[in-house]
Amino acid sequence: MAMERHVILASCSPRRRELLPRIGIRDFLVEEAQIDEAALSRDCSSCEETVTVLAAAKARAVAARHPEAIVIGADTAVTVDGHILGKPAGREEAQGMLRLLSGREHQVMSGVCVYREGRFLCECEITSVQFRPLTDREIDAYIDAEPPFDKAGAYGIQGLAALFIERINGDYYTVMGLPLFRLGNLFKRLDIPLL
């Protein structure tokens, strides 16, 4: 993609880095936002608001250092029963999250924010994911094969956890961590051509 300004992804997520080229953004920089997610989340009244606020905060933090750039911020959360499942701190927490998701439907919410020339546009996408029932042996084997400690909800749809997912209702890329359709819409609204 030829752009007059460089693009910065305000995230070190390997999955987000993998996804941007799928919509033609191949030449981009990566810079972690360095924000206090816990403090920013405290005043949010819903998961949808939380991921949108955090995506915007990431974009704002990096745009403050690079006002000439196009900056993409994103945040993803897994929710069940109104509770956010973040990245598990260790094996026991990952096991607990996967047991909670076993045989149930949950939602994955991804907020995305794009900055260009002083303008910030943000949106949120919500996708429902249905897990089949899991055995403790499967959970342990999954954690051993693909340690999920850097993934919200303790799983990645693009890996072995695909064996757990009966169906999804919504955008697959939202579950990976970057809703590409929403991102494309934000680029279009900011007059940034992708095609």
Residues acting as catalytic residues: 75
**CB of 35 within 8 A of CB of 58?**
yes
Task: Name the H helices within 35-147.
Answer: 37-41, 47-65, 91-101, 136-145
Q: Single out the residue of 72, 62, 65 nearest to residue 121, CA to CA.
A: 72
Q: Single out the residue of 141, 114, 5, 16 nearest to residue 56, CA to CA.
A: 114
Q: 10 Å Cβ neighbour count for 124? A: 22
CA distance 93 to 129: 20
Show the tokens assigned to 107.
Answer: 């939602």
- Radius of gyration from C-alpha coordinates of the chain: 17
Q: 10 Å Cβ neighbour count for 125? A: 23
Tell me the C-alpha to C-alpha distance, in Å, between residue 178 and each of 67, 70, 95, 132: 22, 16, 25, 24
